[in-house]
Amino acid sequence: MQHAIALAWQGEGNVEPNPMVGCVLAQGDVMIGQGYHESFGGPHAEINAIKNATRPVAGGTAYVTLEPCSHVGKTGPCADALIEAKVGRVVIGCIDPNPEVSGRGIAKLTEAGIQVDVGVESDAAANLLAPFGKRITVGLPWVIAKWAMTIDGKIATMHGDSQWITNQHSREIVQGLRGRVDGIMVGFSTADADDPLLTARGKKLRTPTRIVVDSQARLRLDSKLTTTTDQAPVILVTSPSHDQQHAAKLAAKGVEIWVGESADPNQRLHEFLRDFAGRGHTNLMVEGGGTLMGSLAKMNQVDEAHVFVGPKMLGGRNSITPVEGENPLLMAASKLFSLRYVRRIDDDVYMQYRRIVNAQSGGQ
């Protein structure tokens, strides 16, 4: 199952809005086939594993990270393929989070007389599935907060200078991350201060939509975002009371003007997240600044944090920090994360954290 999970991760960025899935076929202790869901619309993991098998599969065991599907989607049902291949046992990491199909694949397999065991390496399998599961069950995208900070935890000076905190190599890694997500979001102040392009350069699995949260629709007409709508879509998330004349000019340049109904900025942001997931988008990377990140943290909508630390000390109470917002009084109010990955990049450090939901104590 651990190998099946490692295989599944290889589909990251290429299979969404489908889930990442891996499959290993074995006869006793010998692996005889392996496969993963490689691309959206392409064959599922089980089909690839059966196709790649080097020995007869009949009577063997299939280790699958996710419950095999029982319905006809872009491809035929994987449960049927395993039944036809006459496997003797199916070991499953996680059941399908989609309430409409959950349990049906397992039922089909057991009805065909196949032994089914569920919950092997279930935490790792659930981790793999979390972004897909959030979209399917909650109707919201998986939010990845990304920032670069100094060793004393600042992302910009008080006047907004932030270029650069980390080295070239770290910034290239960010380019790679952008090429795997469906959207990249920034707050108006970041769009205004940095004039970022926010496109994915280098190896690109998908073209993320660029999103600016800008209640008044003040994004400059000559900004890099406004002038490159032919390269990747741009959405401006704004309020009912925005500057309509300016918004019309932005729209004429190809910017989609998304007007939320609520007068409350966070409520509006929530409305937008729901709409974004409804468009079939799974992963949203938020690249700051601190004010927008503070809102998302308050809304409990930071699922992952990708933190780059550059070897600089800036100082200053008024320098901008990665997550602004309200000032909690007690540590118990902090959100809890677990460290998933850490890497040294010359003198920079890159860390990935994942939010721990429903932690029993010590935080929210």
Ligand X SMILES: NC(=O)c1ccc[n+]([C@@H]2O[C@H](COP(=O)([O-])OP(=O)(O)OC[C@H]3O[C@@H](n4cnc5c(N)ncnc54)[C@H](OP(=O)(O)O)[C@@H]3O)[C@@H](O)[C@H]2O)c1
Positions that interact with ligand X (CB under 6 A): 147-148, 155-156, 160, 162, 165, 186-190, 193-194, 213-216, 265-266, 269, 287-292, 295, 320, 324
Query: Of 121 and 194, which has the nearer Cβ to ligand X?
Result: 194
Bridge-partner residues for 36, per DSSP?
A: 22
* Cα-based angle 29, 34, 38 (whole degrees, multiple of 5): 160
For CA atoms 357, 362, 363, 364, give the dihedral sign: positive
**Least distance to ligand X from the beta carbon of 209, Å?**
17
What string of DSSP letters covers 224-284? TTGGGTTTS-EEEEE-TTS-HHHHHHHHHTT-EEEE-S-SSHHHHHHHHHHHHHHTT--EE
Contact 104, 68 (CB under 8 A): no
**Least distance to ligand X from the beta carbon of 174, Å?**
9
Residue 288 CB burial class (10 angstroms; 0-12, 13-18, ≥19): buried
Query: Of 144 and 156, which has the nearer Cβ to ligand X?
Result: 156
Query: Of 291 and 364, which has the nearer Cβ to ligand X?
Result: 291
Is 46 a known active-site residue? yes
Structure tokens, 290: 């601190």
Q: At what angle do helices 290-298 and 265-278 cross, to 10 degrees?
A: 80
Query: Of 23 and 191, which has the nearer Cβ to ligand X?
Result: 191
Q: Tell which residue, 296, 200, 218, has the closest CA to residue 257.
A: 218
Identify the three-state secondary structure at position 307.
Answer: strand
Q: Tell which residue, 48, 110, 140, has the closest CA to residue 357.
A: 140
Identify the three-state secondary structure at position 316.
Answer: coil
Catalytic residue among 12, 38, 46, 271: 46
Task: Calculate the alpha carbon distances from 257 to 190, 221, 278 in Å.
Answer: 18, 13, 17
DSSP E strand boundaries for the chain = 22-27, 30-36, 61-66, 89-94, 115-118, 142-150, 183-187, 209-213, 234-238, 256-259, 283-286, 304-310, 337-345, 348-355
**Least distance to ligand X from the beta carbon of 92, Å?**
39
Paired sense of beta strands 61-66 and 89-94, if any:
parallel
Q: Tell which residue, 341, 211, 220, 358, has the closest CA to residue 288.
A: 211
Query: Of 78 and 269, which has the nearer Cβ to ligand X?
Result: 269
d(CA 364, CA 361): 8
Query: Of 182 and 287, which has the nearer Cβ to ligand X?
Result: 287
Query: Of 48 and 352, which has the nearer Cβ to ligand X?
Result: 352
Active site members: 46
